[in-house]
Amino acid sequence: MKLLILGSTGRTGHIIVEEALRRGYYVSVLVRDKSKVVSHSKKVAVFEGSPANEADLKIAMRGCKVIITALNISRTSDFPWAGLRTPGTFLADTMKNIITIAKQQNVVRIITISAWGVLETKNEIPFWFKWLIDYSNIHVAYLQHEAQEELLRSSGLNWTAVRPTLLTSSTRLRKVRVSYNGFPKAGLFISRYSVAQFILKILQDNTYYKKSPTVFDE
């Protein structure tokens, strides 16, 4: 099975690529700059362009049965009030293209990384985190994650929107726990490695079809 992984040069995306290759999948990636792709595996096909451009995305999606997107709204730094590097509608524009092309090319699965704190889970997050979302540039990403999920819910496709809690760069793998509607109460953190492992684990599992699980490290 061939996968298209978007956001493959990001902090979580590159781990998903590594894990997919380790499990024997063929991988396509669509990047703005080919020189940023570090993998030299023969199982990786690299396409240059933007997923917000339908023509670029259609070429990269050809032959792929699963789309995994680790895209996000990028800022000029990790500072919550830093300026945006990507357009404010980037995630929604990309998801519209994914859905359109997926129906044309018989894609069987779409998995996207969303966020803990979108939609109904905003009532679950700590007060200080809710304040940051409301009063900093982080709110643009959260609005876009919500828009992505709403587009998927009305798409008629088999999708999963994985909502990780606060991401860390820990390489220590722990058991991933899943929460729905605040039960069980989610822990604050999950590593990017745990998120990648979870996504590849559910790739061919229909348990999470058309669901938005919150995931966290035990």
What average pLDDT score do residues 213-218 get?
97
The mean predicted confidence, pLDDT, of the chain is: 96
Q: Would you say residue 39 has pLDDT above 80?
A: no
Q: Partners of 29 in the beta sheet? A: 5, 46
> What CATH class is the domain 2-217?
alpha beta
Distance of alpha carbon 91 from alpha carbon 82, whole angstroms:
18
| Other C-beta atoms lying within 10 Å of the C-beta of residue 10 | 16
What is the rounded average pLDDT of the residues 164-193? Answer: 95
At 136, the pLDDT band (50, 70, 90 cuts) reads very high
Residue 40 has pLDDT above 80, yes or no: no
> If pLDDT is split at 50, 70 and 90, which confidence band does 17 have?
very high
DSSP 52: T
Q: Where are the domains of the chain?
A: 2-217
Q: What is the pTM of this model?
A: 0.96
Residue 190, classified by CB atoms within 10 Å of its CB into exposed (0-12), middle (13-18) or buried (19+), is buried
